[in-house]
Amino acid sequence: MDCWSSPLAVDDEFEKLVLRMNPPRVTVDNASSKNATLVKVDSANKRGSLLEVVQVLTDMNLMIRRAYISSDGEWFMDVFHVTDQKGNKLSEDDVAERIQLSLGPRIRSFRSLRSSVGVQAAAEHTTIELTGRDRPGLLSEVFAVLANLKCNVVAAEVWTHNSRMASVVYITDEASSLPIDDPDRLAKIKQLLLFVLKGNRDKKSANTAVTVGSTHTERRLHQLMYADRDYDVDGVDGGSAGERTKISVTVDNCTDKGYTVVTLRCQDRPKLIFDTVCTLTDMDYVVFHGTVIAEGPEAYQEYYIRHVDGSPISSEAERQRVIHCLGAAIKRRTSEGIKLELCCDDRVGLLSNVTRIFRENGLSVTRAEVTTRGSQAVNMFYVTDSAGNPVKSEIIEAVRRQIGLTILRVKDDSYSQSPTQDTGKFSLGNLFRSRSEKFLYNLGLIKSCS
């Protein structure tokens, strides 16, 4: 072994040795509770262990109803009370295996936060990362650029918060369906997307960089928005306890024990614990003890944290920063606007055309989830008007008629059609009646996915 090996490499090898000698133990208990499955995790402690476990449970679309966290010393022991999204106990038997794999010895994948436009080649696609000032029509411009450059978008996720936008987009070459790895072509993609992101008002914060490695998409979005300081308001740190979202975050020092105590209360929603634990981890805090209760409409979270060097929060400015950052992490995923689902045969240029129609009708996309399942595109959009206000039902119905009533559906319980609307006379066959509707059919935008 080289006597000049870096301390980080030595620490990694020691960590792998500890994990081999003391592999993680995960048990799944369906008998102890009538209402939830208990997932118990015992493992050697390492930085990010809690996030790894929460990430696995979140990726399996499980709801964490309660959690008890303890990780003092070299070992951590966590208990999670989980259900499926319908409130039922788990029937899947691979939860323990997936958590054990996530906690096993492997190379860490903490990503650099340098870039606001990054391009990375992977085995099946090329990844594009974007951050910049949000504005109406921005997503339409991004997808139009990619379509013009013969790029097919196979998946994407877009978040907006506090006038900032972050997106992770997965693309392939239109002709070959392979990742794009030509340096000149990647440079052109980055250059044109940077031009779109800068617009007329974002001259300073838009930059380009090529990223390396890989990580969890939603975690990367948190990192991108945190690096872009979306928790700032008008250039200074803003409060996290928004009146509209009813978020309460307190940060106090427990001086006799040497911890900082973080307490959060807000409306419960899926993936809430992931968002808060992810933020604390990426801010270089370690959770030593914690309690999560989310069995009703409100969620309660309490964490005893320290810096990675073992010290508690020591200044008022840092305390305020933690409050603001946790508030922003909670709000990023709190989608505003009407939820629309687009389901149809996938086709190159589909997103460019759909988001162009949104833009032409004055709709602004506040969040988007783009997925491809086989030959089908299943995309979710949250839309407001250009000022961020709720969209009138007649505008939504006009957009649906342009794109196709059978493939663009409203998935919002609070949405009600205007009583003057007569959507029944529009059908897939009647879409040939206008030149624009026939054009959309020829583009493949109005093929039913049912």
Start-end of CATH 3.30.70.260 domains in the chain: 1-108, 117-214, 338-442
Cα→Cα distances 227→10, 117, 236, 330, 389, Å: 29, 12, 14, 16, 27
Classify residue 362 as left (phi > 0), alpha (psi -120 to 50) or beta.
left
What value does the mean pLDDT of the chain take?
A: 81
Sequence length of the chain is 450
Predicted structure pTM score: 0.82
Q: What is the pLDDT of residue 121?
A: 64
Mean pLDDT to the nearest integer, 84-109: 78
Of the CATH numbers 3.60.21.10, 1.10.10.10, 3.40.50.2300, 3.30.70.260, which one belongs to the domain with range 1-108? Answer: 3.30.70.260
Q: What is the pLDDT of residue 89?
A: 93
In sequence order, the 6+-apart residues with CB closer than 8 A to the CB of 81 are 33, 35, 36, 37, 38, 64, 65, 66, 67
Domain 338-442: give its CATH code.
3.30.70.260
Domain 117-214 has CATH 3.30.70.260: yes
Q: What is the pLDDT of residue 103?
A: 82
d(C-alpha 306, C-alpha 50), whole Å: 14
d(C-alpha 407, C-alpha 384), whole Å: 20
Count of helices and strands (H, E) across the chain: 11, 18
Dihedral through CA 303, CA 309, CA 311, CA 314, nearest 10?
A: -100
pLDDT in tens, 241-291: 334 458 999 999 988 889 999 999 999 999 999 999 999 999 999 999 999
Q: Is pLDDT above 80 for 177?
A: yes
d(C-alpha 274, C-alpha 295), whole Å: 16
- Which of the pair, 296 or 114, is modelled with greater confidence? 296
pLDDT bracket for residue 125 (50, 70, 90)? confident
Q: What is the pLDDT of residue 46?
A: 81
Q: What is the pLDDT of residue 123?
A: 64
Query: Nearest Cα to 250, choosing from 311, 303, 307?
Result: 303
Q: What is the pLDDT of residue 13?
A: 57
pLDDT in tens, 361-411: 999 999 999 998 888 999 999 999 999 999 999 999 999 999 999 999 999
**139 contacts 365 by C-beta, under 8 angstroms:** yes
In sequence order, the 6+-apart residues with CB closer than 8 A to the CB of 124 are 172, 179
**15 contacts 105 by C-beta, under 8 angstroms:** yes
